Structure 1
Amino acid sequence: MFVINCKNYEEISGDKIIKFVKTAEKISKKFKVKVAIAPPQHLIGVVSKSSIPILAQHIDDSKIGSTTGFIVPELLKKSGVKGSLINHSEHRIPSKDIKKLVLKLKELKMISILCVKDVAEARKYAKINPDYIAIEPPELIGSGKAVSTEKPELITKAAVAVKSAKNKTKLLCGAGIVSGEDVSKAVELGSKGILVASGIVKSKNWDKIMSEFAKSMV
């Protein structure tokens, strides 16, 4: 699983998100790698009919109806969105909400990607069986330093922690992945995919960097 979080970067603002997603579609097909994109929330509708999974960056434990400003999972599904990130380091939420939202996405047959900051959280939340757990040490996010090289033991320990839950949860590696070499190392250490952001979105050549990452996964 190759997940790209676009955050609220200016590089994909407006209709630039369309070119970005089309590039990802091409790379996914070429390398036979599952690529998913999490665009800024206000641009989801622009690309929700893509041939690759479009994810929300955040969801709320709110219901359809009088819930102004909240992001409701059921409505996202009706718009073609395939799942969501939960508890990203830049949008942390309480543990009770995490559990409710993982369950909600499971009920809706949507993809849940639960972000954690350390091995202890990976072990704790693997028990609630999200589809993916993405480990991303906050100090490495956007640093240009990869967790696979700066803290390789974190990936191996997280992989063991996730596996110990004995369910279908898979580990993704996040934070600071900037090259194909970083991707290969993460996979070698036990990750089943990657969660990346600035390393892709801020690149001058999306096609080239997505190809490099996808090729390194296979």
Structure 2
Amino acid sequence: MFVLVNLKAYPCDPVAVAEAAERVATEHGADVAIAPQAAHIQAVAQSGAETWAQHVSPVGHGSHTGSTLAEAAADAGAVGTLLNHSENRLKLADIDASLDAAERAELSTVVCANNPDQIAAAAALGPDAVAVEPPELIGTGTPVSQADPDIVRDAVAATKRVDPEIEVYCGAGISTGEDIAAAEELGADGVLLASGVAKAADPQAALEALVD
């Protein structure tokens, strides 16, 4: 199971979290990645942890002040990017353009969506993975795998109908190893989480509890 920790804009030490993630990944043979703020990508990547961007903009080189250029994220050390997180929604055409930008920069992609219908539409654009995250559960500590397991099952089924090669991740409320196990039983290939690690007093202990 792939574990992608989104640090959002929480007041944590991104390098300390990344170092903890790298230790846990090495010691437990786990697949853990960190998505920091764009300004911290290089420092996080230098820790040795797998590093993802939280977003790349649907633009190429040119006059795009304030945009996150995919090539710049890759140059800083990112190997993948989230797109269309519920806190940074994009129009369908912009998701498509951001996927093109990520492909140019050789970044892996995860497109987030709220429900199985949106997941199917996202999958049709050809990302490497999609992630189902009901926004009402984000940050609540109540995992979608418990609150509404059918959303996960239906998202997996919808994705596989479009392209069986696209992975499906489960987000919103994931905070324990039991949540990850439940997501896997429902057919998910990975999980997205944030506050359970980024807000933890001991990120390494939180990650170890997840992967154990």
TM-score of the alignment, normalized to the shorter chain, above 0.5:
yes
Aligned-partner residue type, residue 130 of structure 1 = P
Shift, 1:167, TM fit: 4.3
For residues 42 and 108 of structure 1, do their structure 2 counterparts lie closer, same or farther at Cα, with a shift above 3 Å needed? closer
How far apart, in 1, do the equivalents of 2:93 and 2:184 lie?
A: 31
**Alignment-derived partner of residue 111 in structure 1:** 108
Shift, 1:204, TM fit: 1.7
Aligned-partner residue type, residue 98 of structure 1 = I
Structure 2: tracts of 5 or more residues without a match:
none
**Alignment-derived partner of residue 182 in structure 2:** 185
Aligned-partner residue type, residue 30 of structure 2 = V
Structure 1: tracts of 5 or more residues without a match:
none
**Alignment-derived partner of residue 29 in structure 2:** 32
Which structure 2 residues correspond to residues 116-135 of structure 1 after superposition, within 5 A?
116-135=113-132
How far apart, in 2, do the equivalents of 1:47 and 1:207 lie?
A: 15
Does residue 147 of structure 1 match 2:144? yes
Does residue 97 of structure 1 match 2:94? yes
Which structure 2 residues correspond to residues 198-213 of structure 1 after superposition, within 5 A?
198-213=195-210
Does residue 137 of structure 1 match 2:134? yes
**Alignment-derived partner of residue 3 in structure 2:** 2
8 A Cα contact 1:129 1:168, kept in partner: no
TM-score (norm 1): 0.92
TM-score (norm 2): 0.95
Please give the per-residue CA displacement for 1:18-59, whole angstroms capped at 9, x wherever unaligned.
Answer: 211100001111221221111122222222234232111111
How far apart, in 2, do the equivalents of 1:72 and 1:196 lie?
A: 24
Identity fraction in percent? 32
8 A Cα contact 2:15 2:47, kept in partner: no
